Structure 1
Amino acid sequence: MGSRKFLIITTALSFMLSTLAPANADNPPRKILSGWLPDYSLARNLPTVEGNLDLIRDISPFWYGLTGENSIKDKYALGKYTTPKEQVIARLKANGILLLPTITDDNKKFVLANLLANPTSRSNVVQTIKAQVLKHNYDGIDLDFETFYTQDGRSSWAALKPNWIAFIRELSTALHDQGKLLSVTTPPDFAPETKRAGNWIYSWAEIGPLIDRLRIMAYDFSTTSPGPIGPLAWTEDGVKYAITQMPASKVFLGIPGYGRDWITKVEGVCPKDFSSSVVVGAKAAVVMREASNLAASNNAIPTYNSTHAESTFTYKKSYVDPTNSASFCTASRTVWYPDERSYAARTNLVGKYRLGGIAVWTFGMENTAAITAVRDIAKSIAPDQVIGTIAT
């Protein structure tokens, strides 16, 4: 990879204010908050968006899945919700929010990779996505194509990489010609010297000039065994590498609003109703706003781990046969989850590295204190608007 020089261009006055003078508490916050809006639970999740418009410039409804070169699945329509999607779109647009809906790769292993390898089918994918954007007059699209690393495997990446870059170049041109934005969501990648396992297939340096947003999914570090969801040092290493590959203003740090609750030990013989689910290694999701209640209801006291910037606690739970109280098992469980201090630690990276902002997975998972923490930081760095250009 050739050496690259980066210019971070800021308004001189904004730079002076942000670095030489304390922030005014009455400053309107910098709009650093973005994220994903799932199709479910809109009654709970929409108010998070509408109650924080001073922080938000754009959001990504998580509504679409690519199922072929000419087909897109509408997840909102499949949910059969009572509120028509068009009403939700109109409601969000009325609040002045840019809509960059997310499209996932819902194909089986190697299907999308093979589509991108063929110029004709690759062009069809581009036109299919563009048509979806234009159909609803969205402001752009957010790609969340995870099959490359969750299913296809690293051995396929060398052949896939040039086709992926060609696809992004063609989609970028198609969207930008229509005045639309292109966001790409990927797992983290890292500088080689960190010795961390990265995801180089997404080719940050090559797609950087072509895209308008890079959202880094800095979560799912611990999945098979108990541990932090997105440890802070791991997260920061991903950020530090990203801003050497493209202007920092394009980089948005993905922050989890959820944790996990793992079973680490089972004592006794579980009743048949629980025998397949209550096993060592099983896990359940825990959203931030519910984690404190989970701890309290099980007489557990969470401990904040300042190294990882996440909270954790352990508890035991018994599973009893409803027809025979003498038949039960007891599971030891370990929980890791983010709280408001986790949000603050990660949001502080926006000011530290002059990032575009944060992207939360998802709106509605957070507690009130977490949003307050984001707002306080957004005020402290306002009006530090960062515009980046790249020169080779």
Structure 2
Amino acid sequence: MITLNNIKEAKNKLQNIIQNTPLALAPILSKDLGAEVYLKKDNLQLTGSFKLRGAFNRLACLNEEIRNKGVVAASAGNHAQGLAFAASHFKCEATIFMPEATPLTKVSGVKSFGAKVVLIGENFDEAYEAAMKFTEENNKEFIHPFADDEVIAGQGTVALEIIEDIEDIEHIVVPIGGGGLISGIAIAAKAINPNIRITGVVASGARGMKESFESHMPIDSVAVKTIADGIAVRDVTPKLLDIILEHVDDIVEVTDNEIANAILFLLEKHKLVVEGAGAVATAAIMHKKVDVEGSKVCSIISGGNIDVTMLSLIIEKGLVKSYRKMNLIVTLMDKPGALMNLTNVLTKSSANIVQIDYDRNSIKLEFGEAHVTIAVETKGEEHQKLIRENLKQAGYRFKQI
């Protein structure tokens, strides 16, 4: 059984190791929602995630003789980096099993701390099975990313920091993958003040814990698929479910589109680089999945280790959705000056061309025609409407994509 004392002991072990990450008011969300919304920025932790807390505490509690034999873990990326950092600190060997689709930034982060990486399986659970087999065959210590008392106690230090900064916090919204973070936070927060509301957030593509919470029994997912790779956990651990049922008030879910919106919002409005798993709590608040009106609420930003390719895709789609970028396919006569005439129309519409592609070979075209795929920067919905009207008046056939 994990107690508040265990979490306070973990805080002592983490002293001078981890950063007490910033807790800051989110003014735009606060105004829009009629609440005091705060962001706990654990994406600014040393390894880019809260996972360092639990991993370091687990190794700090290990017998030195066992630790020196080497440790093993399975991870979607953030626990791996936390454990690799801790193993480097204690000068012991670490072997980390990660899903094959783990973003390069996370794999590189693990290797940079000197750990060995084995990429295997389509998701966390398949990597976990391989890691357990390796552990048994090589007589090493397995460090579970969430179903472990010392790991949970380490994660619970997040709650201690929040309450130290804001004594009268009323509501904490927490991402859920395996459940270690929310378990530690909920145990600590409820022990200090039972009236603090704890809400968990899962991704719609990995909703096993939500279904289990509602059914009061473990229900594993058949498969998981979400941009929030850090919480893409297929199977529900009964031990974690029991803690969550006892200490957590509610669990909600957010879609990948809502997660992407939150990532872009945090990047643009708060200058924070946040991964999918780290953005789900903010996504739930932004999209009103959680009732926060009139309360002091804290959103846990649990990690920032997002793959730059994914971030680029989210930015691109976000620009299109917010009417700041417009993609068009325009049909032209394939003759000299035709492209210049089109760009003149766009210039007069104050549309800045950022990308253009010319295709005269498509079998969908009549002879003597060409397709121009063109991307332009725009200044909102009304500006895009003006561009469409000007193209129509100039006699162009086009499609917005």
Same fold per TM (> 0.5)? Answer: no
- Length-normalised TM-score, structure 2: 0.24
- Length-normalised TM-score, structure 1: 0.24
Question: Greater strand percent: which structure?
Answer: 1
Which structure is richer in relative contact order (CA contacts within 8 A, separation 6 or more)? 1
Structure with bigger gyration radius = 2
